């Protein structure tokens, strides 16, 4: 591919043969000072986040808050209906008999936490996102969800240069090199 600059370039893409090659390429791209790049793999690869220097996902914090919201909702739901809105003695127990509400508290904790895990993941990942420039690349389109390990250095990276970046990726062992159109 001649590295002529396309009108709007999203970035430079390269495919790697093995997961080990991809990880090593990611490490070197990072070492070269690039900051805006990402690896695309058909399955999660152990050690990729480490190679990229990523921090841990912040999702667990969201889920903790979501779960606690569920617990609080259950206490309020059971308490307000059983002790405030229509207090009625059942089986000689106090109106606010929290022991009997434990199963509901547990279930709503799990329910709210699970919804938070789903929607939190989608929000953090900006999904659904039906259009993304990488899909314009024909190799990516056929192999990214199959057996292709891709590395894309984005054009918004300050170090990005269409020719130099592609050459660098080729040097790292990248194949099917190309520029991705926006």
Partner 1 sequence: MSSASVGRGAEPATFVPQPDGGYSRPVLVEGHHRIKDITTLVAGVIEKPTPRWWLPALSVSAFVMSILVTMIVYLISTGVGVWGVNQPVSWGFAIVNFVFWIGIGHAGTLISAILFIFRQKWRTSINRAAEAMTLFAVICAGIFPGVHVGRFWAVWFMAPLPNANAIWPNFRSALLWDVFAVSTYFTVSVIFWYVGLIPDLATMRDRSTGWARKLYGFFALGWRGSGKLWKNYEAAYVLLACLSTPLVLSVHTVVSFDFATSVIPGWHTTIFPPYFVAGAIFGGFAMVCTLLVPTRSLFPELKDLITVNHLENMAKIMLATGMMVGYAYAMEAFIAWYGANSYERYTFYNRSFGPYWWAYWIMWACNVISPQFFWFKRFRRNPWFIWWITIFINIGMWFERFVIVLTLHRDFLPSSWGEYWPTWVDGLSLFGSFGLFFFLYLLFIKYVPVIAIAEVKSIMPEADPHHHGHGHGHGYESHADPGHDSSEPRREGHA
Q: Can you give the binding site for partner 1, defined by CB under 8 A?
A: 18-20, 22-23, 38-49, 52, 54, 56-57, 59-60, 63, 67, 77-78, 81-82, 85-86, 88, 90-91, 93, 97, 100-101, 103-104, 106-108, 110-111, 113-115, 117-118, 120-122, 124-125, 127-132, 134-135, 141-142, 144-147
Q: Which residue has the tokens 């903790």?
A: 64
Neighbours of 137 (CB within 10 A): 23
Q: Which residue has the tokens 């050690």?
A: 47
Q: Which is nearer to partner 1, 3 or 77 (CB)?
A: 77
Helix, strand, coil distribution of the chain in percent, nearest 5: 50, 15, 35
Report in angstroms how near the CB of residue 125 gets to partner 1 at its nearest: 5
Report in angstroms how near the CB of residue 111 gets to partner 1 at its nearest: 5
Alpha helices in the chain (DSSP H): 19-31, 48-52, 59-79, 98-124, 138-143, 162-171
Report in angstroms how near the CB of residue 91 gets to partner 1 at its nearest: 6
Q: Which residue has the tokens 């434990």?
A: 102
Q: Which is nearer to partner 1, 115 or 160 (CB)?
A: 115
Q: Which is nearer to partner 1, 39 or 166 (CB)?
A: 39
Report in angstroms how near the CB of residue 90 gets to partner 1 at its nearest: 5
Q: Which is nearer to partner 1, 135 or 164 (CB)?
A: 135
Residue of 168, 176, 170, 162 whose CA lies nearest to 11: 162
Report in angstroms how near the CB of residue 5 gets to partner 1 at its nearest: 24
Residue of 94, 93, 75, 95 whose CA lies nearest to 85: 95
Report the SS3 class of residue 7: coil
């Amino acid at each position: 591919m001649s590295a002529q600059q396309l009108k709007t370039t999203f970035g430079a893409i390269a495919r790697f043969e093995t997961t080990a090659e991809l990880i090593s390429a990611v490490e070197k791209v990072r070492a070269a000072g690039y900051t805006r790049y990402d690896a695309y793999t058909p399955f999660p690869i152990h050690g990729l986040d480490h190679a990229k220097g990523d921090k841990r996902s912040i999702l667990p914090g969201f889920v903790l808050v979501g779960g606690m919201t569920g617990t609080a909702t259950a206490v309020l739901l059971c308490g307000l209906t059983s002790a405030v809105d229509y207090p009625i003695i059942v089986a000689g127990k106090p109106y606010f008999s929290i022991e009997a509400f434990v199963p509901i508290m547990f279930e709503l904790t799990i329910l709210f936490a699970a919804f938070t895990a789903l929607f939190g993941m989608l929000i953090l990942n900006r999904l659904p996102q039906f259009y993304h420039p990488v899909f314009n690349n024909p190799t990516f389109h056929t192999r990214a969800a199959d057996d292709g390990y891709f590395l894309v250095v984005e054009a918004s990276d300050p170090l990005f240069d269409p020719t130099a970046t592609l050459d660098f990726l080729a040097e790292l062992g990248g194949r099917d090199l190309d520029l991705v159109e926006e």
